[in-house]
Structure 1
Amino acid sequence: MSVPAAESARHDPYAALRIPDFRRYISARICLTLATRIQGLVIGWQIFELTNDPLALGLIGLAEAVPSIGVSLYAGHLADSVKRKNIIMATVASLLVCAVALALLATPAGLRLLTRNALATLPLYAVIFGSGIARGFLGPATFSFMPQLLPDRQNLANAITWNSTTWQAASVLGPAIGGYLIAHLGVANAYSVAAVLLGLALVQFARIASRPLPAMEGERPDLKTSVLSGIRFIWSNQLILAALSLDLFAVLFGGAVALLPIFAADILKVGATGFGHLEAAPAVGSVLMAVSLTYFPLRRHAGRKLLWAVAGFGVATIFFALSTNFWLSLFLLFLTGVFDSVSVIVRSTLLHTFTPEHMKGRVSAVNNIFIGSSNEIGSFESGTLARLLGVVPSVVFGGTMTLVVVALTALRAGKLRRLDMTPETPETPEGAR
């Protein structure tokens, strides 16, 4: 893959942040991410306290993934057919309603609906299901709206890196804040803080000027043609397909995050505050790696580095499962974030670089099915295996399967293995595709 010559002439690490609407977008994303990370941590802790069942934790992911996957393809079509800001405003408002509902369910009156019977947690799962629908529409809209905020493509790579960096930074703070709120202010107040942050995100998105849909040749396709064109685009591009598949299976098998309440409470015995630190550790690693990539962009032998990074993710996951020391576990989770950040940035760069502007909603929707929901489905897989095999063996199995996926990808996806993102490399435009 080649990088435009203008990018290599003079690298300004703050170029995208000099654009006012991009700054507003980043601010809104920070508030949104803080809110969802706090909410995700709190609901995991609450449901585990109510049920003491690892499968119940896995069902949280399933309850969010099923609706998100179900609406994704239509959401992608909508993001390429309707002004993207309108979709963002509607979906963030819906997430705000869900956060308020969770806060109400955590009040004394709401808690009377929730007992230690797993079925009585259905109101919580119903809210999660609703938020899954909203997030299914939000993903394609934000992905395709962000490049429209840039005057030209010269700053696209820098914007992608800052988008990832700030998302990871908010992901660091979110779990730590959530753990503190649970320990000192209670579940209801933690949900209320998430609701306030979503309100702030809504205000920041409202301040961004709306953009028209990107121009395209001919008439806009009907729903069926539109949806199928997004799938065909990814299926025909070996580089993007291989990168998505690698990330999908790595997250699906290698994620131990869904079981962190059990590690915190039963294995490491560090309570709610320690749980928040464990949740934050991967994001700390991710944000530090993302910041370093802002100053030192990943270019030469990017494909090989991606494969080694995902392999490192699998190894760190295996050792985390076997650790009984809190500080070692924290460090290993930190490493999973470092390795994951490489994958996120390479994949995002490939998607934004090769996807035409008028198709970004549909391509992002397919990406959401591959990646965005793999975390939730991975949570369900982790919870199910933890119940069948035990917590530690299930995480070891997941890390091992990640290594298997990396080996198969390295053997089968030659274009990804040879991917080079060095500026003005003459052989890469053809080779990358």
Structure 2
Amino acid sequence: MTAPASTPIFANRDVALYWCVRLCSMMAFQMLAVAVGWQVYELTDSALALGYVGLAGFLPAVLLVLVAGQVADRFDRRRVVQAGHVLEGLVALALALGCFQGWLDVTGIFVGVFVLGVGKSFAAPSLSALLPALVTPAELPQAVSVTSAAMQSAVILGPALGGFIYLAGPGAVYAVGGLLFAASVTLLGLIRRPPAPALPLTDDREASSVFAGIRYIRSQPVVLGAISLDLFAVLLGGATAILPIIARDLVHTGPIGLGFMRSAPAAGALAISFWLARRPIERQAGRVMFAGVAVFGLATIVLGLSTSFALSMLALLVLGAADMLSVVIRASLVQLETPDAYRGRVNAVNYLFIGASNQLGEFRSGVTAAWMGLVPSIVFGGVGTLVCVLLWMKWFPALAERDRLTGG
């Protein structure tokens, strides 16, 4: 089931299929994000409403984190991901139908975003936990890099394609997103079933508890530090929810320009993903991760101060590259430090802290933009990210001093 270490990672059929699943599902999600963001802003002309979109996507992760993790560790992870993607695809098609028939309003969009969040809350932890079962531990950092490249390719193509399709109306974007989720479900069915997660030899009620993932993270300073750093960096520095406002009011562009702006961070991230796939980080992994988060904060500040489309695009490119540098290190550390029996529950908490914190960060950016103004809210987030870097280097010295991804 795993490819030899000397074999290119794509020679592993299951990894290639997994890459395609990541590409399709993330492209669908990004296209829907563009359509939802622009449609809600057109209907409400409110930064706060964009913040509520992020909140609606975040709430399911909070409510379902323990259940989703337990499901990922007890059932076939491929089937769990398929079920989540089926739900997301049905929601996308329902939103398309509402647009075509003219009954979809802001409340309906919020409900749709919430249900999309339910599907993603189950799919994301199981999909992340599935990858280590398809490769050897030595191959995992490279596999994380190439699958991250798939995600970033989708983040580039999805928003740009969504922006163009939006010219035909938001319903067209939702319909295409639904078809991409259907493709993802089909590809998942072609991946061979990996071995079921083995319970620890010392298995007891505590080891099988829904809270075991949280307890495990708390007992591992490197894992806790990596996850929590990214949580607060994304919470403070995330500005994607207010990109429609930046696009329209600061750099004076439209839906197509917004699509390119949403794609820019992924373009930077994609370049770093390809670089890391060829030249994995071998030394000073902790310091490199902290440096990436610091550059992310600085780029966020530049984005907030810019009134130029070109400079904003450059800031977003750098922001995405720096974020991906830290993401690959964090993801590799979390997967390598976690026994397979706990991966579903740990990845569920990780998704809540990292993936869903994007939505909470969007809520934060929308609220602060409405409260203190657009530019101050973005700059505040970037400065806050830099403060977090300094504090985490002091609070988690084991993470800052981590040298190699494997072997400590």
TM-score w.r.t. the length of structure 1 is 0.90
**CA distance in structure 2 between the partners assigned to 1:407 and 1:208 by the alignment:** 43
2:112 pairs with one of 127, 130, 154: 127
Contact 2:153 2:267 in 1 (8 A): yes
Structure 1 residues 113-159: Cα deviation after superposition (integer angstroms, max 9, x where no partner): x2xxxxxx111111111111111111111111122223x33322221
- In structure 1, what is the Cα distance between the partners aligned to 2:40 and 2:206? 38
Amino acid in structure 2 at the alignment position of 1:73: L
How far residue 220 of structure 1 moved from its aligned partner, in angstroms, is 6.4
| 2:143 paired residue among 143, 159, 175 | 159
CA distance in 1, matches of 2:198, 2:244: 48
Large movers: runs of 4+ above 6 Å: none
The 5 A counterparts of 1:227-306 are: 227-306=210-289
Cα distance in 1 for partners of 2:103, 2:204 equals 46
Partner of 1:419: 402
Tell me what 2:157 maps to: 173
- Which stretch shows the higher mean deviation, 49-58 or 293-302? 293-302
Identical columns (%): 37
Q: Is 1:41 aligned to 2:34, yes or no?
A: yes
Matched with 1:98 is 91
Q: Identify the range of structure 1 (372-381 vs 295-304) with the bigger mean alpha-carbon deviation.
A: 295-304
Query: Structure 1 residues 357 and 386 mapped into 2: Cα distance closer, same or farther (>3 Å)?
Result: same
1:223-255 superposed Cα distances (whole Å, 9 cap, x missing partner): 995222111111111111111111111000001
Which residue in 1 is equivalent to 2:369?
Answer: 386
Which of 12, 20, 24 pairs up with 1:27?
20
Deviation at 1:181, TM superposition (A): 1.0
CA distance in 1, matches of 2:389, 2:220: 19
Among residues 67, 71, 79, which one is paired with 2:60 in the alignment? 67
Give the Cα separation in 2 of the matches to 1:275 and 1:17: 33
- The SS at the match of 2:74 is coil
Work out whether residues 69 and 368 of structure 1, in 8 Å CA contact, stay in contact via their aligned partners in 2.
no
Q: Which residue of 1 aligns with 2:10?
A: 17
- Closer, same or farther: CA 422–160 of 1 in aligned 2, 3 Å: closer
Query: Is the 2:299–2:319 Cα contact (8 Å) retained in structure 1?
Result: yes
Alpha-carbon distance in 2 for matches of 1:297, 1:215: 29
The gaps in structure 1 that reach 5 residues or longer are 1-6, 115-120, 424-428
CA deviation map 1:283-339 (0-9, x unaligned): 000010111011111121111111111111111101111100000100000000010
Q: Which AA in structure 1 matches 2:19?
A: I
Classify 1:352/1:325 alpha carbon distance in 2 versus 1 (closer, same or farther; 3 Å).
Answer: same
Tell me if 1:377 matches 2:360: yes
Q: Which residue of 1 aligns with 2:189?
A: 206
Most deviating of 333-342 and 228-237: 228-237
How far apart, CA to CA, are the structure 2 residues paired with 1:401 and 1:55?
21
Q: How many residues align?
A: 406
Letter in 1 for 2:222: L
Deviations 1:91-124 (A, max 9, x none): 111011111011112114324xx2xxxxxx1111
Report the counterpart of residue 295 of structure 2 in structure 1.
312
TM superposition shift of 1:186: 1.7
- Give the letter for the 1:134 counterpart: G
Match of 1:4 in 2: none
Contact 1:144–1:361 (CA under 8 A) maintained in structure 2: yes
Structure 2: which 5+ residue stretches go unaligned? none
Mapped contact 2:268–2:321 kept (Cα < 8 A) = yes
CA distance in 1, matches of 2:152, 2:369: 27
The letter for the 2-side match of 1:396 is V
| Paired letter, 1:358 | A
- Pick the structure with greater CA Rg: 1
Amino acid at match of 1:340: D
Q: Deviations over 1:378-410 (max 9, x none)?
A: 000000001100111100110110011011111
TM-score, scaled relative to structure 2: 0.96
Query: Are 1:80 and 2:68 matched, yes or no?
Result: no
1:219 Cα deviation after fit: 8.7
1:202 Cα offset (Å):
1.1
Q: Per the alignment, do residues 41 and 406 of structure 1 end up closer, same or farther by CA in structure 2, a change over 3 Å counting?
A: same
Tell me the residue number matched to 1:144. Answer: 129
Give distance in 2, aligned partners of 1:88 and 1:213. Answer: 15
Cα deviation, 1:18-71, whole Å, max 9, x if unaligned, reads 111221111111111110000011100000000000010011110011112210
Q: Residue 169 of structure 2 aligns with which residue?
A: 186
Return the alpha-carbon distance in structure 2 between the equivalents of residues 154 and 313 of structure 1: 28
